[in-house]
Chain A
Amino acid sequence: AQSVAQPEDQVNVAEGNPLTVKCTYSVSGNPYLFWYVQYPNRGLQFLLKYITGDNLVKGSYGFEAEFNKSQTSFHLKKPSALVSDSALYFCAVNFYGNKLVFGAGTILRVKS
């Protein structure tokens, strides 16, 4: 069964430092991978996706993610964190179907 794991409930980082939010998945074959962000009292907002091609995907607000097939990971990264990046981040996987399976979410806190 396809699944996605976000091993960290919370990530804390200082403003200006690089950030990484981890995501691993368990599927056979080639998945479609997504990152979404949720700000308080808001719905989820699409950040970026990996479908095929270049393993490094660039998305909104300076975020990027690296697809690593051998490690079945799709970690979200940003070179320099902003306080406004503080939010709840979801990784999601869709494999040969139409059901998006979400991870449990990781709270990112960026402190000034």
Chain B
Amino acid sequence: ETGVTQTPRHLVMGMTNKKSLKCEQHLGHNAMYWYKQSAKKPLELMFVYSLEERVENNSVPSRFSPECPNSSHLFLHLHTLQPEDSALYLCASSLQRTGEYEQYFGPGTRLTVT
């Protein structure tokens, strides 16, 4: 295990539902990330939090709303999603936000939007 946990591991939701993904890291890291992994596409960085402050938002639609209440927890709130949002959502953390530090990934949440 990498020290990063994600729940739920699988989620099926309709387009009108509201759900949340949860990520928790037990590594004492200060930076946390959300990525989207779709089939046959490169990993897409969605959001970056450093010391609980959002420092990057890569043109992600507003139907995705992140929340970082403390340095150990990260949430991704979902509402009125589209079928093309079906993907594996990965959470990661790193010691610092600066580039030389490797990121540690959780196992992901497999999201299916029906």
Query: Contacts A43-B4, A43-B90, A90-B43: A95 and B99 contacting too (C-beta < 8 A)?
Result: yes
Q: Which residues does chain A contribute within 8 Å of B104, judged by CB atoms?
A: 46
Q: Report Cα–Cα, A105/B40, bound state, in Å.
A: 9
Q: Which residues does chain B contribute within 8 Å of A49, judged by CB atoms?
A: 100, 102
Q: Report Cα–Cα, A22/B105, bound state, in Å.
A: 23
A45 touches B105 (CB 8 A): yes
- Of A41, A42, A43, A97, the most chain B CB neighbours within 10 A belong to A43
Minimum C-beta distance from B83 to chain A (A)? 21
Q: Which of A34, A41, A45, A96 meets B2, CB within 8 Å?
A: A45
A91-105 interface mask toward B, CB cutoff 8 Å, 1 = contact, 0 = none? Answer: 000111111101111
Query: Contacts A43-B4, A104-B42: A98 and B48 contacting too (C-beta < 8 A)?
Result: yes
**Size class of A's contact patch?**
20 to 34
B45 touches A43 (CB 8 A): no
Q: Which of B56, B100, B108 meets A99, CB within 8 Å?
A: B56
Q: Report Cα–Cα, A45/B50, bound state, in Å.
A: 21
B1-41 interface mask toward A, CB cutoff 8 Å, 1 = contact, 0 = none? Answer: 01010100000000000000000000000010000000001
- The answer to whether the Cβ of B98 comes within 8 Å of any Cβ in the partner chain is yes
Q: Which residues does chain B contribute within 8 Å of A99, judged by CB atoms?
A: 45, 48, 56
Minimum C-beta distance from A59 to chain B (A)? 10
A41-B110, A43-B90, A44-B92 are known; give 15 further A-B pairs, CB within 8 A: A41-B108, A42-B107, A43-B2, A43-B106, A43-B108, A49-B100, A90-B43, A94-B99, A98-B55, A98-B56, A99-B45, A99-B56, A100-B99, A103-B42, A104-B41
